[in-house]
Each structure stands twice: as C-alpha cells, then as structure tokens.
C-alpha cells in the first residue's frame, strides 16, 4: 500500500511539472494576418508599375491654375458634385440636404488618424495634387483629360482627409511631404503610383526614391 501511494504521488508531481506552453491553447491568428498578403500583393504590383514609369525632371509650373482642370468638381447624376459623392462614399451616417451637400456625418482622415464630425473639418484631397500632375505631364493634356483626372472616382485619387492635414500637404510630392501617420505610407505610395501609372505621368528621381522607401512599410 505504501508503494502504491508513493507511485501516485510521483505521477501527480510529474503532471504538475509539465511546461505551461505544452498545455495551453495554440495562439490566435493575428488580426492582420489576412491583410498582410493583400498588402504584399499590392506592394509587388506597385513596384512593377513604378519601374515602368518614366523618370524625368519636373516641368515648369507656368500656366497652371485650377481653371485648367475645370470643372474640378463635376456633377454626377444631376445635382451631386464629385466632392459630395466622395464625402458620402467615405463617410458614415452621412445625411445630405436637397442640394446634395452633407449636413451630418462622421469621417476618418487616414493621413493623420483624426475622426471628424463636421463637414467643415474635412477636405477631399487629390492624392496626386493638380499642380504636381501639371508638372508631371498634365500640362500637355487636353482640357477633357485634365477634367477627368480631377474628378476620377475609379482610381484612388480622391480621399477624405482633415482640412488641417490637407493644408499642410499643399501641392507637395512624397519627397517633400508624407502622411503624419506612418501606418498609411504603404497605401499612400500604392495609390500615388497607381494614379501616375494610369495617367502615364512621369516621376522625378527623388520622388521615386521616396515612393520606394514608403513601399518598404508594406512588409
């Protein structure tokens, strides 16, 4: 009986000394696990498109004005302009008046991570600024093509951001300005490249280097 009691005690101690890692549940998959392959795929595509873009010196700003891209906010389906369409597309719980202008809603600015509850606090940014596009080849386009560029709802050219961050960006390229929120650099670079590739706008050498640096954050 004494021998059996000691055997049971030894077995119990053995179970208690099993490493915790061996009996705990396997770790949960990361919340970003599904996003990572997509980001990697987008980065590979962006690298390929960027490699095909012509590298050249910026053209003169002479002759540029917003009027060269008019109407900058064209109307869609009658009364709604491009700006109102984008605000409704990118916002939550957006209410519009009879003139299609948002009077209520919530918007998220991916450049700086701000959540905004007033239409007066937001802007619709051209990812590739109109003045920058002008110096990248748009100065040679027809008025119709420039209008299509300024109102493009298909490519990632238009995005809702805070008014303050839009003012800070101005007409600068990625070699001079980047979104304050580093977590958005990957998307910003892929969007910039996608737009330039579609419209066959060239890049400068410094611009290309900056875009490549931002693409590294996709990993």
Q: How far is CA 108 from CA 119, 122, 181, 211, in A?
A: 11, 9, 13, 24
Top pLDDT among 30 and 142 is at: 142
Tokens 């579609």 -> residue = 198
For residue 11, the model assigns a pLDDT of: 40
Evaluate if residue 24 carries a pLDDT over 90.
no
For residue 217, the model assigns a pLDDT of: 96
For residue 74, the model assigns a pLDDT of: 86
The full DSSP string for the chain is: -HHHHHHHHHHHHHHHTS-HHHHSPPPPPPTTTTHHHHHHHHHHHHHHHHHHS-B-PPPP-TT--GGGG-SSS-EETTTEEHHHHHHHHH-EEEEE-TTS-EEEEEEEETTTTEEE--GGGEEEEESS-HHHHHHTTGGGS-HHHHHHHHT-SSSTTEEEEEHHHHHHHTT--TTT---S-GGGHHHHHHHHHHHHHHHT--B-HHHHHHHHHHHGGG-
For residue 219, the model assigns a pLDDT of: 79
pLDDT digits over 34-45, tens only? 456 666 788 999
Task: Give percent above pLDDT 90 in the chain.
Answer: 74
For 191-217, what is the mean pLDDT?
Answer: 98
Evaluate if residue 56 carries a pLDDT over 80.
yes
Task: Tell me the pLDDT band of 9, cut-offs 50, 70 and 90.
Answer: very low
Beta strand residue intervals within the chain, DSSP E: 75-76, 80-81, 92-96, 102-109, 114-116, 122-126, 158-162
Among 52-56, 75-79, 115-119, the range scoring the smallest mean pLDDT is 75-79
Question: CB–CB of 154/84 below 8 Å?
Answer: no
Whether the full predicted model's pTM is greater than 0.75, yes or no, is: yes
For residue 76, the model assigns a pLDDT of: 75
Task: Tell me the pLDDT band of 75, cut-offs 50, 70 and 90.
Answer: confident
């Amino acid at each position: 009986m004494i021998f059996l009691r000691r055997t049971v005690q030894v077995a119990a101690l053995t179970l208690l000394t099993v490493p915790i890692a061996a009996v705990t549940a396997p770790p949960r998959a990361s919340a970003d696990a599904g996003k990572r392959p997509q980001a990697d795929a987008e980065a590979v595509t962006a690298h390929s498109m960027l490699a095909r873009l012509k590298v050249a010196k910026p053209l003169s700003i002479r002759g540029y004005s917003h009027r060269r891209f008019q109407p900058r906010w064209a109307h869609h389906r009658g009364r709604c302009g491009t700006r109102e369409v984008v605000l409704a597309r990118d916002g939550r719980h957006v209410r519009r008046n009879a003139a299609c202008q948002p009077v209520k809603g919530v918007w998220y600015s991916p450049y700086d991570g701000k959540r905004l509850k007033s239409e007066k606090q937001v802007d619709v940014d051209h990812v590739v600024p109109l003045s920058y596009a002008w110096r990248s080849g748009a100065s040679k386009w027809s008025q119709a093509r420039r209008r299509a560029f300024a109102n493009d709802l298909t490519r990632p050219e238009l995005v809702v951001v805070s008014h303050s961050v839009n003012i800070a960006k101005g007409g600068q390229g990625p070699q001079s300005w980047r979104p304050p929120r580093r977590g958005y650099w990957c998307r910003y670079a892929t969007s910039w490249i996608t737009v330039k590739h579609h419209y066959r706008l060239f890049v400068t050498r410094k611009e290309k280097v900056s875009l490549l640096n931002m693409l590294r954050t996709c990993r």
